[in-house]
Amino acid sequence: MSSPSGGGFRSTVRAAAEAPQTAPRTGGTRTIPGPRTRRVHRFLPWPGTARAAVPRAGRARSLALSSVTATAVLTLGACGVLILQLVRRQTGTTGLLVGLGLAMVPLPFVLGGLAWLNLTARVPLRHTVFCLGWGACAATTVAILANNWTSSHLTGHQGPLGELLGAGIVTPVIEETAKGTALLVLLLPIGLRPRCRGRRGGRPCAPLLRRLPGPRSPRPYARRAAGPHARERLGLRPYLRPLPYLRPAPPSTGSAGPGRTARSRPRTLAAGVVLGGMAACGFAFTENALYLGRAFSSDQQQRLDSIGLGEPPSLRDFDSTVQTFVLRGLLSPFAHPLFTALTGLGVAVALTTRRHWLARIGAPVGLLLAMVLHGIWNAAADLGTHGFLLVYAVLMVPCFGALVGFAAWARSRSVRHAARRRKRAAVPG
């Protein structure tokens, strides 16, 4: 009996693959089934086999998003390791642990307030986590390195005046820019497939930041219909990715007639506050850990010195740690979120307004207000106890009250609109 050739084996396997999956039963018994089609196709594919194929565009997009996500996670992880090393170098291991523990105390209250406001904004969890990680790792790393270099440079050339300029002007500019960069990173068209023209003809794909006429891709940058939007008029559409929660309000059809321009919705403004507040919350956590750990290490060294001099230890040895915790953890846990919330509001207004001039100045004005408020807060620390309390009562408390009032207004408007939509849906016809 001769052995089957290669073609006979291939035809045999093909016939077995095309056979029905359930063999007929004979006399209460079942014949031995042949090889399954799925396993045959896995190891012996041929052109005639029909199999489900994932769309090429979908595979490319999923791979791009996976690579971008992995790159972001690795970058934030590397910044986190670096910032831990920088903080431990200034505080020591014990000071780092104490600082992290004390910095965790005000964190649930700030995150709880932002989560309550996020019920109106409906920002996705991945975006809030990214902003939180950016503020805690990347922004603090940039701020510590830049502040150390600028403070040493200004102090060496200007003396006490350089130290005052660094604390009141340079530090707010660096920190607010580093925190506000998180919103810009979210708006960049990272991971989106650019439009290609003439790809099959051999010509390269069009650049990402250049708009060329051509067929629209299955999922272009614009996820909504084009309209009278400031982004189109400013030419920012190829450079920024429209987010679902940062879009203009639809034209209202009220008593003023159809086509009446509406203002930005409360959801868009609340989304800007949530994104900026999350970045600032992570930044404040790392900064509190640094200052509290440094104060604890200083107090611990003074206590050891007092014991060496024969003085009995007391609770007053940790006055610096207690004062730093009361100032940063109890009196001003919402200071950094308040500053960066202005940047988020400016970005939200710039991306959603239909007024040309407001779209141009919204983001710069919000960032400038955040820097000014941050600089006044830093300068108040050098005015003594009475000056600090005066600035705190005259400036910080009203600004915080205005932020709370805005959050309550946005939440009430959202609840009112939701109830109105449910009432319209319940009406028959």
Band of the pLDDT at 114, cuts 50, 70, 90? Answer: very high
270 and 295 Cβ atoms separated by less than 8 Å: no
209 versus 215: the higher-pLDDT residue is 215
Band of the pLDDT at 117, cuts 50, 70, 90? Answer: very high
pLDDT greater than 50 at residue 355: yes
Band of the pLDDT at 228, cuts 50, 70, 90? Answer: very low
pLDDT greater than 70 at residue 315: no
pLDDT at 10: 52
DSSP per position, 269-333: HHHHHHHHHHHHHHHHHHHHHHHHHHHHHHHHHHHHHHHHTTPPP-GGGGHHHHHHHIIIIII-T
Residue type, 260: R
Predicted TM-score (pTM) of the model is 0.73
pLDDT greater than 70 at residue 395: yes
365 versus 267: the higher-pLDDT residue is 365
| Percentage with pLDDT > 70 across the chain | 64
Band of the pLDDT at 368, cuts 50, 70, 90? Answer: very high
pLDDT greater than 50 at residue 425: yes
What are the φ/ψ torsions at residue 335 (nearest 5 degrees)?
-65, -55
pLDDT at 424: 83
How far is residue 402 from each of residues 256, 321, 341, 373, 398, measured CA to CA in Å?
Answer: 30, 31, 12, 14, 6
Cross-strand bridge partners of residue 26: 29
What is the average per-residue pLDDT within 321-344? 92
248 versus 136: the higher-pLDDT residue is 136
What is the average per-residue pLDDT within 92-102? 93
82 versus 238: the higher-pLDDT residue is 82
pLDDT greater than 60 at residue 203: no
Least confident range from 154-158, 346-350, 372-376: namely 154-158
pLDDT greater than 90 at residue 84: yes
How many Å apart are CA 179 and CA 169, to the nearest integer? 16
How far is residue 297 from each of residues 13, 145, 147, 292, 319, measured CA to CA in Å?
Answer: 75, 21, 21, 9, 12
To 10 degrees, the CA torsion angle through 133, 136, 139, 145?
-140
pLDDT tens-place string over residues 7-48 = 555 555 455 555 555 545 555 554 555 554 444 444 344 444
What is the average per-residue pLDDT within 55-84? 75
pLDDT greater than 50 at residue 272: yes
Average pLDDT of every residue of the chain? 75
218 versus 239: the higher-pLDDT residue is 239
Residue type, 235: G
70 versus 428: the higher-pLDDT residue is 70
CA 356 to chain centre: 27
pLDDT greater than 50 at residue 153: yes
| Percentage with pLDDT > 90 across the chain | 34
pLDDT at 33: 53
pLDDT at 382: 79
pLDDT at 188: 80
Judged by DSSP in three states, 342 sits in: helix
Band of the pLDDT at 325, cuts 50, 70, 90? Answer: very high
Q: Which of 85-99, 245-259, 264-278, 413-427 has the highest mean pLDDT?
A: 85-99
To 10 degrees, the CA torsion angle through 24, 25, 26, 31?
80
158 versus 218: the higher-pLDDT residue is 158
Q: Which of 37-46, 83-92, 383-392 has the highest mean pLDDT?
A: 83-92
DSSP per position, 8-67: HHHHHHHHHHHS-SSPPEETTEEPPP---HHHHHHHS--TT-------HHHHHHHHHHHH
pLDDT at 65: 59
To 10 degrees, the CA torsion angle through 23, 27, 32, 36?
20
Band of the pLDDT at 308, cuts 50, 70, 90? Answer: low
pLDDT at 320: 87
355 versus 330: the higher-pLDDT residue is 330
